[in-house]
Structure 1
Amino acid sequence: MTSAEATADERAELDKALYDALDPLASAIRSRASGLSEAGSWEADPVDVTLSVLAAWKVVDEEVKRLTAFAAATAGSYGASYEQLGAVWGITRQGARKKWPDAVPRRSTARKDTALELFGGTAELAQDPTSGEWTWTGDGADGTHGAAEGDTGYTTKEEAAAHAGAFLREHAADPS
């Protein structure tokens, strides 16, 4: 991507366009605050006039932030990374993630599943994408269905596999 810096002429054009867009908003804000008509609101106290301009810039600033977040999310939806967003904005990848936390979709929000076959039965190990905890469900060879108890979640896949394996061993097919 080429430089995002604007030339002096482009900045002058932007300044003019922003002031042209700002004037009606500042006049409306000043009119509401002073009770004067929009045409006569320039006759208000100079402090009030300048504060109304500042208030209008605040509205513009909030709108630019909203539109910027929308542009970042759009870029993210097309595959831009936080590193790319940060580079365009002149900040780090971490800074971009903090500025626009939902702009880039998480790599995988799908569950990570693993199958386990032991003692004639099967179990599925699954990792919750939000908490990272592992759980299991299984069917023993004797037809008994089982799962991790209640809200039990395991820190590692191996721990969940050990509990699932113990269930499958307990419910192995009767050798006779």
Structure 2
Amino acid sequence: MKPTETADAELVALDKALYDALNPLASAMRARSTGLPKDRMWDADPVEVTLSILAAWKVVDVEVGRLAAQAARTAGSYGASYEQMGAAWGITRQGARKKWPEAIDRPSTEAKRKSSTVELFGGTAELSWSPACGGWRWSGHGADGMRGEAERASSFSTKEEAAAHAGVFLKEHAADRP
């Protein structure tokens, strides 16, 4: 996505629309805080009036942030990367990840530790996370009927490492091994 430039006429129209939306909100907030009717908002002390307008802009800012986060989550659900979101917002990939950490679903730790099966050389091995040893283990059944598992004292730091060791076992116990 290419960064887009906003034309001056578009900014003027946006400013007008924002002010048109802000005035009723600022009037209502001011009326609630002072007890004065909405039509008398401008009759108060100028500092109080401008502070009520500032408070209304804060409400708008929070709502824009919420809507931007929603747009980022939607973009992430369609496959946008943090790099793309950052480019659209004018920030870095890291900035986008920090701004919208939930925009892209990342597998949870539990999902990452889900057991799986490896099928090689006619045999199968199950890879599982062992909380007791804080690592990955494997147990398998070779095509030749032999059963095996990681040594009791062994655990592997990654699922891929456990799969590699299970693969060695399955290869050694293939049915067509000479």
The alignment yields a C-alpha RMSD, in angstroms, of 3.9
Q: How does 1:35-74 map to 2 (within 5 A)?
A: 35-74=35-74
- Letter aligned with residue 65 of structure 1: G
Unmatched 5+ stretches in structure 1: 166-176
Give the TM-score taking structure 2 as reference length: 0.70
Corresponding residue for 1:155?
Answer: 157
Q: How does 1:1-176 map to 2 (within 5 A)?
A: 1-106=1-106, 111=114, 113-115=116-118, 122-126=124-128, 133-136=135-138, 154-157=156-159, 160=162
Contact 2:136 2:159 in 1 (8 A): yes
Unmatched 5+ stretches in structure 2: 168-178
SS of 1:105's equivalent? Answer: coil
Q: Distance in 2 between matches of 1:59 and 1:69?
A: 15
Q: 1:153 to 1:69 in 2, by over 3 A?
A: farther
Residues 11-61 of structure 1 show CA distances to partners (whole Å, capped at 9, x for unaligned) of 000000000000000001111111111111211111110000000000000
Bigger shift: 75-84 or 108-117? 108-117
Q: Distance in 2 between matches of 1:92 and 1:142?
A: 53
Percentage of matched positions with identical amino acids: 62
Contact 2:115 2:126 in 1 (8 A): no
- Letter aligned with residue 105 of structure 1: D
Q: 1:44 to 1:158 in 2, by over 3 A?
A: closer
Give the TM-score taking structure 1 as reference length: 0.70
Q: 1:148 to 1:84 in 2, by over 3 A?
A: farther
- Letter aligned with residue 118 of structure 2: A
Q: 1:86 to 1:147 in 2, by over 3 A?
A: same
1:159 is displaced (CA, Å) by 6.7
Residues 112-156 of structure 1 show CA distances to partners (whole Å, capped at 9, x for unaligned) of 7342789xx85301469xxx952445579699xx9999xx97423
1:102 is displaced (CA, Å) by 1.3
Aligned length: 159
SS of 2:126's equivalent? Answer: strand
SS of 2:4's equivalent? Answer: coil
Contact 1:134 1:157 in 2 (8 A): yes
